[in-house]
Structure 1
Amino acid sequence: MFGRRPLLLSAAALAAPAPLRAQGAGWPSRPVRVIVPYAASGGTDILARAIGEALRPSLSQPIVVENRAGAAGVVGSEVVARAEPDGHTLLVVVSTHVMNRYHLPSLPYDPIRDFTPIAMLTRNTMMLVSGANQPFDSLRSMIDHAKRNPGRVGTGSTEALSSFIGQELARRAGVEMPDISYRSGGQLMNDIVAGHLPSGWTSTVSVMPHVGTGRVRVLAASTATRSAYFPDAPTPQEEGIRDFDLSGWVAMLAPPRMDPALAAQIGGAVQRVFDDATFQQRLVALGVERDFRPAPALLEAMQRDDRIWAAAAQAGHIRPQQ
């Protein structure tokens, strides 16, 4: 269900900025929980733990990353939506946090109104991957194989965005490719490597550990431009899928009604981590696309996404799960 694993620092821990000079009204006065509403070992979990390690030397209290997976991120997000806005419970979530209101039949919170934005952290380009033992080695050959075998080439996904990307690609290509849901990118990649899953869309972070093993093929990026981490993988537009450009983000949120000064203090601490050269090198090693934006820009992005997904739902391209 979920795990609770405190971060253990070592001599190899990430370098971090100098300790914070101002701690506001005693923040933090106890350990800070960072809720990741997905299973361990996925890209969001890996990023959250890297941030936690980098933050730890500058704070007076431990950072504890806690996985609360379930219901496409809703279980863990609800914990934060109902927590005290004192800075001791935070959330690291992907952009489907907003999309879920159109993908799921109901939500126990409003994904924008019931959270305090802290910062956007990274861009989340999705990569289409398959095992080296599959009978296709490119996006075009996968589509052709799927046309010859309707319903036999499933695409794995880990949340609403990767599910939408897979189904939107299939819709535009005119093929039937069933969506297969996973709890994390790590689990999806394990099945790709083992040959149990024909293909899947997941983050660059989840794919990166498998590069060079010879057991995984990276077939395409989800965006209009190629990924800097996988420059040999074409875009769907290059393969004839016009105007295909979809990506997400990872952000840090807090409970609603947080004091703006405290939210700014937390956001500033995170920004100092993201501005640190050593941490930026760590992100590159993980395959993370840095895209730090402060709270106002995050809120603007969330509101923009909400309009995009509302239009997609109205057009019938997103249908609530039954």
Structure 2
Amino acid sequence: MSIAHRGRPAAPDLVARRVLLAAPALLSLPLRAQPAWPQRPVRLIVAYAAGGGTDIFARALGEAMRPALVHPVIVENRAGGAGVIGSDVVSRAEPDGHTLLAVVSTHVMNKYYLSSMPYDPIRDFTPIAMLSRNTMVLSAGATQPFATLPAMIAHARQNPGAVGTGSTEALSSFCGQELARRARIDTPDIQYRSGGPLMNDVVAGHLPVGWTSTASAMPHMQTGRVRILANAGATRTPFFPDVPTVQESGIADFDLSGWVAMFGPRGMDPVLAGRIYTAVAAAFTDATLRARLTALGVEPDLRDPAGLTAALVREDRLWAAASAAGTLQRAN
């Protein structure tokens, strides 16, 4: 993917210093006269196709926010480019709180994964809220000739190139590539626009395995046509407590987890960002939403603008180091 960048990106350390210097002010600025928010319906841009985990989560959150707001939160899917197309829409929007972005942690990783981007993922957005932990799981159709990760690895060694591995963005693609590298197997990366179409092909038997979120996998578990082979995090997920981690399955030090977060365009007033975060935090106290998130396989991890900023800076350094070491390869 090749998209021209608007200006030269700042070095990771310089970006980190700028964001960290600004972060303490986000929630400590004195209140001052602000226009009412929202003054019209709020567009929540989901940078992935309908039916995936992020889309499902965003719609549930928007519904939970509705009772406290004068206007509704309307989810709009802008899929494509590993999240770049939808993110670019928000980066160009007015910073008035009426166009927001729901995106996964590859928002930062894309900077080092894609050949070029039209924005900087940290500099050109206003952090509003970390929303959830995004545990990646390896799903397989029940008709596949393996029921565990070690069995899948053995099958892939006996049939090089036959076990295509679905992905939807940079993190799930990296999960597949890193597992293949460490297990010394050939599992071609097959890219999808979101977790919904990926899981449909897993269920139908068209795709051998796919890395996706618990939220994308959960709706299919009652069909009996899906197996979860492994979890990419350091610990087991409460949604699939019987599923071992990749580490437990024999691949040491494998720990790749993501998140879902909300952003606004660059230049949003910190007081407005704090106001939107407050509305999100209030929605998270709703018992109906929390029960729904549990049913959807979403692990809440609510953090304020400063907490999200710290996570962005940390991951920017992580992926910069991975790129410099050659363990994160640029997409073609």
TM-score (norm 2): 0.89
Match of 1:310 among 309, 320, 332: 320
Aligned residues: 301
Q: Where does structure 1 differ by over 4 angstroms across 4 or more consecutive aligned residues?
A: none
Q: 1:99 to 1:25 in 2, by over 3 A?
A: same
User: Paired residue for 1:294?
Assistant: 304
Candidates 86, 90, 95, aligned match of 2:96: 86
Task: Could you tell me which runs of 5 or more consecutive residues in structure 2 were left unpaired when the two chains were aligned.
Answer: 1-31
Secondary structure in structure 2 of the residue aligned to 1:245: coil
- Verify: 1:278 aligned to 2:281, yes or no: no
Shift of residue 58 of structure 1?
0.9
In structure 2, the residue matched to 1:18 is none
Distance 1:23 1:225, change over 3 A: farther
Matched, 1:263 2:282: no
Partner of 1:101: 111
SS of corresponding position for 2:123:
coil
- Give the match for residue 251 of structure 2: 241
> For residue 126 of structure 1, what is the aligned residue in structure 2?
136
Query: What root-mean-square deviation, in Å, do the aligned CA atoms of Structure 1 and Structure 2 show?
Result: 1.2
Provide the rounded CA distance (Å) in 1 between the counterparts of 2:130 and 2:315: 13
Equivalent residue of 1:210, what SS?
A: helix
Specify which of 41, 44, 51 is matched with residue 61 of structure 2: 51
In structure 1, what is the equivalent of residue 21 of structure 2?
Answer: none
Offset, 1:24: 4.1
Tell whether 2:177 aligns with 1:173.
no
Alignment gaps of 5+ in structure 1: 1-21
* Equivalent position to 2:215, from 200, 205, 215: 205
Q: Distance in 1 between matches of 2:257 and 2:33?
A: 35
Equivalent-residue separation in structure 2 for 1:278 and 1:50 (angstroms): 10
Matched, 1:136 2:146: yes
| Residue 150 in structure 1 maps to residue 160 in structure 2 | yes
1:61 to partner: Cα distance: 1.0
CA–CA separation in structure 2 for the residues paired with 1:171 and 1:141? 17
* Distance in 2 of aligned mates of 1:181 and 1:317: 19
> Is structure 2 residue 97 aligned with structure 1 residue 75?
no
The Cα shift of 1:278 comes to 2.5
Q: What amino acid is the match of 1:241?
A: I
CA distance in 2 between counterparts of 1:152 and 1:252 reads 38
Distance (Å, rounded) in 2 between the aligned partners of 1:316 and 1:272: 42
TM-score, reference length from structure 1: 0.92
- Offset of residue 285 of structure 1: 1.0
User: 1:23: how far off?
Assistant: 10
Q: Residue 179 of structure 1 aligns to which amino acid in structure 2?
A: D
1:114 and 2:120 correspond:
no
Distance 1:311 1:178 in 2: 25
User: 1:88, 1:123 → 2: CA distance?
Assistant: 25
Alignment check: 8 A CA contact 2:112 2:320 kept:
yes
CA contact (8 A) 2:64 2:286 kept: no
How far apart in 1 are the matches of 2:216 and 2:276? Answer: 27
